[in-house]
Structure 1
Amino acid sequence: MQEILAFLGEIPWWAWILAILVFIAIIDIFFNRKHTILHNFPVVGHIRYMLESIGPELRQYIVANNREELPFNRRERGWIYASAKNENNYEGFGTDQDIYSTHYVFINNAMLPYQLPAGHPNLKNSGLIPCAKVMGAYNLRRRPFRPASIINVSAMSFGSLSAKAIASLNEGCKLAGSYHNTGEGGFSPYHKRGADVIFQIGTGYFGVRDENGDFSMEKLVKMVEEYPQLRAIELKLSQGAKPGKGGVLPASKITKEISAIRHVPMGKDVISPAYHSAFKGLDGMLDFIEEIAGATGLPVGIKSAIGKLGEWEELAEKMKERDHGPDFIAIDGGEGGTGAAPPSFADHVSLPWIYAFTDVYKVFKKHQLTERIVFVASGKLGFPAKAAMAFSLGADCINVAREAMMSVGCIQAQSCHTNTCPSGVATQNKWLQAGININDKAMRANFYFTKFRKELLQITHACGYEHPSQFKMTDADINLSDKNLAQTLQETFGYSKVEVPFQSYQDFVDCPHIGGNLNLEKLRQTEDAIH
């Protein structure tokens, strides 16, 4: 034995490497039955697959320029990261955008900016921008809700995101005064860190389902009574990533905790149907909304991606006829989001946000219903200039998903559906989550929201207004056609936004229905930290 070991010890290192390569080549040539490349090009073929596997990372950090990458380019991600870290998020030496490109938006500033009067709340809290409308006011819900922030966290479930990511976002929302949408995955312990919460009911009824998987009003009412931070209910009809398809949570991401929260079995993919079983048709949906609102006292809204407009016309007609309906409508852009989807869905099914929103808004304006509804916009709008454009079109609130994920560490690895997210944000792997410091990430989310609002408010003042709800469709131009013809949003989309009944900021501070987590002292502390 000693002689054999001595002999092996005399073999040079390069001979070992050669032997390993020969062994790999034999396996590739004689035993590989799956990959033609490996059979035809043994050993070398492995390099090809390795480079392919790290291609997104190579393009992200080496090949792509600052404005080229999708869904969020490097400059956009850089602004979010800098804002979240409370670092300098300015740029020097002018823009590197192609300002003559089609769909490029220009904000029309006023000759004389708006000047804050003495004693104005924004003098102490430049990041204070509550929503100008109250959810549930028209339909006289028992517990109306005015969001304390015009930017909030969109629907992302515990299960899709990790426990630490959800906890970080919820605590960040508490600090910033934003609300946190649970997504369809149920109301988890990590949503209970103090922020206002909108509970989403999806087609799987997770968290409020009975033993047969059907919707349980009893469970919903009990949950609302037990947790006062639940401020509204959102009925999910579809989402931008895969409208009409339903959702899938892979078995690999289902832990015992997720199983208990969602009331689903372990070891099986959890499939959300494409349709609701608790109601049928638009009449059934309107009845269901009223039943939930009556039982819980909370405002009830709907979330949907937009395609055919005939059903939206019918919904508006029924709302006009019945004199009731959803208290808010969240319009999701077809650009996709955190939910994984087949490329055919993510690339082609449902309209991009700007077309979706303008089409639906015109329907409700025609039927004189816009003042009853809080319009929530969602679709890559987590940047102040894009938000200004959205408010010009008629949006009342902005929901952000991927931008919020980036504020707590997401690096756009695009592996949300594989349970291998390297930043720990979209995985249930405990090892990958271990690097998330909840206190630190919560503060980053807080800074992102606060700096977003501060910059949006600066744009608002530059245009001569006190609050973003005052933006008009003539306050923004958009480039059209191959000749780069610029027109106002009003001329482009063929309608004028209905004026929002805004009086003064003092109305927000005094409003008894405003979000319970609007803490002016906390906002002032954030303001001091930013400065």
Structure 2
Amino acid sequence: MTEVFVLLKLIPWWAWLLIILACIAIYDVFINKKHIITHNFPIVGHIRYMLERVGPGLRQYIVASNREELPFNRIERGWIYASSKNENNYEGFGTDRDIYQVNYIFINNAVIPYKLPPEHHNAKDPYFVASAKVMGEYNKRRRPFRPASVINVSAMSFGSLSARAIESLNIGCKKAYAYHNTGEGGLSPYHKKGGDVVFQIGTGYFGVRNPDGTFSIEKLVKLTSENKQVRAIEIKLSQGAKPGKGGVLPATKITKEISEIRHVPIGKDVLSPPNHSAFGTMAELVDFIEDIAEQTGLPVGIKAAIGKLDEWKELAQIMKETNRGPDFITVDGGEGGTGAAPPSFADHVALPFIYGFTDVYKIFQAAELTDRIVFVAAGKLGFPAKAAMAFAMGADVINVAREAMLSIGCIQAQVCHTNKCPTGVTTQNKWLQAGINIKDKSERVNYYFNNFRKELLEITHACGYEHPCQITMDDVEINLSDRFISKTLRETFGYSKSKVPFDSVETLVGCPNLGGSYRKGKETDVKEVLTEDTSVSDQ
């Protein structure tokens, strides 16, 4: 045996390399039955698959220009990274956007901007932008809710996101007075770190389901009574990533903890069916909403991506005739989102936000219902100018998902569904999660929200208004063709948003239903927005 080892040591390294390559070649030619490329081009063919695997990353950082990447280009991600690190998020030497491209947005500034009086609350706290509307006020819910921030975290479940990612987001929401939507995966311990919570009910009824998978109102009442940070309930009808398809949480992501939170078995893929079992018609949906609101005392809303409009018209008619129905409506853009989906769904099913929202808003405006509904907008709106456009169209609150993920370190690797997220944001792998510093990442969420609100306010003031809810459709223009024709949103979509009841920011600060434990006169702990560090890196 010793002689054998001695002989092996005498073989040079290059000979070992040739032996290994020969073995690979033999396997490729005589054993491989799956891959044509490696069979026809042994050894060399493997390089093709290696390049295919690393190609997206190479294109993202080396090949693609700053404005080419999707879903979020390098400039957009750079702004979020800089804002979340409280670094300089400015650009020099003018825009590099093609301002004549179709659907390009222009915001019409006033000749004389709005001037903050010295005693104005925003003069002391430039980050305070609360919702002008109150969820559940019209329907007289026992615990109405005014979001203390107009930008909040959209629905992302624990299970889809890691524990450390969820905890970072929730603590960041607490600091920024924002609310945190649980997603349909149930209320986890990581959602209970002090931030306001919107509890989402999906078709799987996770966390509030009976053993047979049906909805349990008793469990929901118990959950909301024991967790006062739950300020509203959202019923998910569909989501932008895959409307009408449902979803799957792979068995590889289901830990013992997730199993206990969702009330599902370990070792099996968890299915969220396309349809709810608790209701099947618009009338039954309204009954479902009212039953939940009555028993929990909380505002209840619905979330959906927009396609056909007949059922929305039916819902508006029921609400008008009965004075019952959702307290808020979340319109999710069909641009896709954090949920993994077949390309056919992500690319083609449901309307993009700007088209879907205008269609739905016009329906409820025609029924004279816009004053009783808080409209929540979602769909790549995590940038101040896009948010201003959404407010002009009738939105009252903005929800962000992927932008919030970017603020805690996501690098847009687009492997969320594989449990191999390199930054630990969308994986249950303990080693990959360990890289998330909760204290640091929660502060980044806080900075992102604060810098976002400050810049949105600055745009609002440039338009001559005190609050974003006052921005109108005539204040925003959109390019309609490559012949440099632009029209206002009002001219383009054929309506003007209803006037939002708003007196002043001072009345919002003192509102007893204001979320986030925000109180008038509370000192902000946010540092100066700009620092000398102008570097922008992913993490």
TM-score by length of 2: 0.97
Match of 1:139 in 2: 139
Q: Is the 8 A contact 2:181 2:197 kept in 1?
A: yes
Q: Alpha carbons of 1:165 and 1:305: their partners in 2 closer, same or farther (altered >3 Å)?
A: same
Quote the offset at 1:172 in angstroms. 0.1
Quote the offset at 1:527 in angstroms. 4.2
Quote the offset at 1:454 in angstroms. 0.3
3-state SS of the aligned residue for 1:66?
A: coil
Quote the offset at 1:519 in angstroms. 5.6
Report the RMSD for the aligned CA atoms in angstroms. Answer: 1.1
3-state SS of the aligned residue for 1:439?
A: helix
Match of 1:23 in 2: 23
Match of 2:55 in 1: 55
Quote the offset at 1:522 in angstroms. 7.0
Q: Does 1:464 align with 2:464?
A: yes
Quote the offset at 1:118 in angstroms. 2.0
Match of 2:250 in 1: 250
The whole-number CA distance in structure 2 between the counterparts of 1:523 and 1:297 is 31
Match of 2:109 in 1: 109
Match of 2:535 in 1: none
Please, which runs of 5 or more residues in structure 2 have no aligned partner? 532-539
1:431-510 matches, cutoff 5 A: 431-510=431-510
Q: Alpha carbons of 1:177 and 1:202: their partners in 2 closer, same or farther (altered >3 Å)?
A: same
3-state SS of the aligned residue for 2:524?
A: helix
The whole-number CA distance in structure 2 between the counterparts of 1:522 and 1:188 is 29
Q: Does 1:420 align with 2:420?
A: yes
Q: Does 1:382 align with 2:382?
A: yes
| 1:133-171 per-position Cα deviation (integer Å, ceiling 9, x unaligned) | 000010000000000000000000000000000000000
1:86-97 matches, cutoff 5 A: 86-97=86-97
The whole-number CA distance in structure 2 between the counterparts of 1:230 and 1:136 is 14
The whole-number CA distance in structure 1 between the counterparts of 2:508 and 2:372 is 18
Q: What is the one-letter code of the residue matched to 1:396?
A: D
The whole-number CA distance in structure 1 between the counterparts of 2:522 and 2:273 is 41
Quote the offset at 1:334 in angstroms. 0.2
Q: What is the one-letter code of the residue matched to 1:126?
A: P
The whole-number CA distance in structure 2 between the counterparts of 1:98 and 1:436 is 37
The whole-number CA distance in structure 2 between the counterparts of 1:391 and 1:323 is 25
Q: Does 1:229 align with 2:229?
A: yes
Match of 2:260 in 1: 260
Match of 1:185 in 2: 185
Match of 2:78 in 1: 78
Q: Is the 8 A contact 1:175 1:523 kept in 2?
A: no
Q: What is the one-letter code of the residue matched to 1:472?
A: T
Q: Is the 8 A contact 1:32 1:39 kept in 2?
A: yes
| 1:433-454 per-position Cα deviation (integer Å, ceiling 9, x unaligned) | 0000101000000000000000
The whole-number CA distance in structure 2 between the counterparts of 1:519 and 1:449 is 18
- Structure 1 runs (4+) greater than 3 angstroms displaced: 519-523, 527-531
3-state SS of the aligned residue for 2:417?
A: coil
3-state SS of the aligned residue for 2:465?
A: coil
Quote the offset at 1:481 in angstroms. 1.6
The whole-number CA distance in structure 2 between the counterparts of 1:22 and 1:224 is 65
Which piece of structure 1 moves more, 207-216 or 401-410?
207-216
Quote the offset at 1:371 in angstroms. 0.5
Please, which runs of 5 or more residues in structure 1 have no aligned partner? none
The whole-number CA distance in structure 1 between the counterparts of 2:431 and 2:230 is 31
The whole-number CA distance in structure 1 between the counterparts of 2:19 and 2:519 is 68
Q: Does 1:392 align with 2:389?
A: no
Q: What is the one-letter code of the residue matched to 2:285?
A: M
Q: Alpha carbons of 1:255 and 1:520: their partners in 2 closer, same or farther (altered >3 Å)?
A: farther
The whole-number CA distance in structure 2 between the counterparts of 1:520 and 1:321 is 39
Quote the offset at 1:482 in angstroms. 2.7
Which piece of structure 1 moves more, 517-526 or 316-325?
517-526
| 1:227-255 per-position Cα deviation (integer Å, ceiling 9, x unaligned) | 11000000000000000111100000000
Which piece of structure 1 moves more, 170-179 or 518-527?
518-527
The whole-number CA distance in structure 1 between the counterparts of 2:415 and 2:297 is 39
Q: What is the one-letter code of the residue matched to 2:466?
A: E
Q: What is the one-letter code of the residue matched to 2:112?
A: L
Which piece of structure 1 moves more, 271-280 or 293-302?
271-280
Quote the offset at 1:518 in angstroms. 2.2
Tell me the percent identity.
70
Quote the offset at 1:526 in angstroms. 1.1
Q: Is the 8 A contact 1:194 1:517 kept in 2?
A: no
3-state SS of the aligned residue for 1:376?
A: strand
Match of 1:122 in 2: 122
Quote the offset at 1:6 in angstroms. 2.6
Match of 2:518 in 1: 518
Quote the offset at 1:324 in angstroms. 1.5
Match of 1:288 in 2: 288
Q: Is the 8 A contact 1:300 1:328 kept in 2?
A: yes
